[in-house]
Amino acid sequence: MKTAKNIPTGKLKRAGKILTTGLKVGKNYALYYGEKIVNPGLNKDKLDEDNAADIMERLQELKGGGLKVAQMLSMEENLLPKAYAEKFSLAQFSVPPLSAALVRKTFRKYFGVHPEKVFDSFDYHSTYAASIGQVHEAYLDGKKLAVKIQYPGVAESIKSDLALLRPMASKLFRINMNDVEKYFTEIESKLYEETNYILELNNSIELSRACQWMEGIRFPEYFPDLSSDKIITMEWLEGTHISTWIRRGISQETKNEIGQRLWDFYSFQLHQLQKMHADPHPGNILVTPDGALGILDFGCIKEIPRTFYEAYISLWDEDALNDRTYFIDIMHQLEVIRDDDSPEERTFFLELFHETLTLVLQPFHAESFDFSNKQFFTDLSSMGERLSKVSIKTKYNPNRGSTHFIYLNRTFFGLFQLLHMLEAKISTRIDVGTPLGLE
């Protein structure tokens, strides 16, 4: 893969790159409408493919917040047209890494010395490159280590990058940005947290210790003395990414066991810690050689306020969900309906969210759930498509509810997709308690 010899870090340079992409998108639209005059039956597939390719090329060059948002969007089925979802999914696994020279320069900038002054050996060719940083293999005192280095300029450019990308997103995906400002604020806040590697280091140590009692789950050891605000050094956790592991002809019984561990891991975090690893995509989940589940990357952590947790979890009782008076009260608490809603608007959103939650919460309403159930995921896709078109087909703004839904939904839909990949049939009990002595 081609490496990046430099990354634009100044606001003006990055703005110029983003604006140039906007002009390319505009040109693609002009060509499309020009061709449609002589070919009225022309669909938008080619337009979407061209726009997605141009945008992804630019985001991969700039890296950072825009690329991270593209990764997030690619995990939400039917939120994006197919061409965008396919291109943006590359942000999870296929990002051009920094060149060896730029790695050496960046490490010295962040750590004060070159890597060879810190480690016995250091591989300048990255093993894994993502949206915010890339990982290198190193050795020290016979121990194999993973060294994650943040791309230069990422943290400083989050706010300006997102501000420039919003109008493009509004045009391409028909989003009224005035309606979703509070949601972008939440995403921007979490992105800043993900670029704070000291915070990530502390979260990694805290959550891995809190969950280390769980059987069959592994976490790498972290090394604060070999880390900084832009570099994290951890034990190299041997294993195979779960998407690759699944293709090895694994028995369904074994896949069910891995699925159960995933479910229990997230249940414990939600119900006991109210603090969750909120980035469950395949690149962060390993299966170790001895069959344990390996959890990586605690950069994106979602803390869940107790009041929100109690209101949301109350809907996991199917009887409560179907108690009209109680449901309306919970929808108020979760900011889905508001005091200034018209009667028609109130009725519309109560019915829409009741239908949505009745579907989405199916796994939580049962003692066990079969995630190989294709109908469930087909229905989820259809619901997602319907929600994405609410603002187009009606006068209503579908972006309702507490901002805490953003990362909680992202976490559970990511988890659902992993369990679907595994075709796992698991117990979906919610009584995962704190082991004796863990406080």
- Tens-place pLDDT, residues 176-196: 555 556 656 777 787 888 889
Question: What residue type is 25 in one-letter code?
Answer: V
Please state the rounded mean pLDDT for residues 310-320.
90
User: What one-character DSSP code corresponds to residue 220?
Assistant: -
Domain map of the chain by residue range? Answer: 11-97+153-192, 240-439
Give the whole-angstrom CA distance, residue 370 versus residue 392: 34
Question: What residue type is 213 in one-letter code?
Answer: W
Task: Assess contact for 301 and 277: CB atoms under 8 A.
Answer: yes
Give the whole-angstrom CA distance, residue 98 versus residue 134: 8
pLDDT tens digit sequence for 404-420:
888 888 899 889 999 99
Please state the rounded mean pLDDT for residues 266-280.
91
As a whole number of Å, the CA-based R_g of the chain is 23
User: Angle at CA 414, nearest 5°, toward 96 and 419?
Assistant: 115
Give the whole-angstrom CA distance, residue 333 versus residue 330: 5
H/E segment holding residue 231 = strand 231-235
pLDDT tens digit sequence for 114-139:
999 999 999 999 988 877 888 999 99
Give the whole-angstrom CA distance, residue 353 versus residue 318: 14
Q: For residue 327, which of 200, 302, 337 has the smallest C-alpha distance?
A: 337
**pLDDT score for 205:** 94
**pLDDT score for 155:** 82
pLDDT tens digit sequence for 227-247:
999 999 999 999 999 989 999
Would the pTM of this model clear 0.75, i.e. be above it? Answer: yes
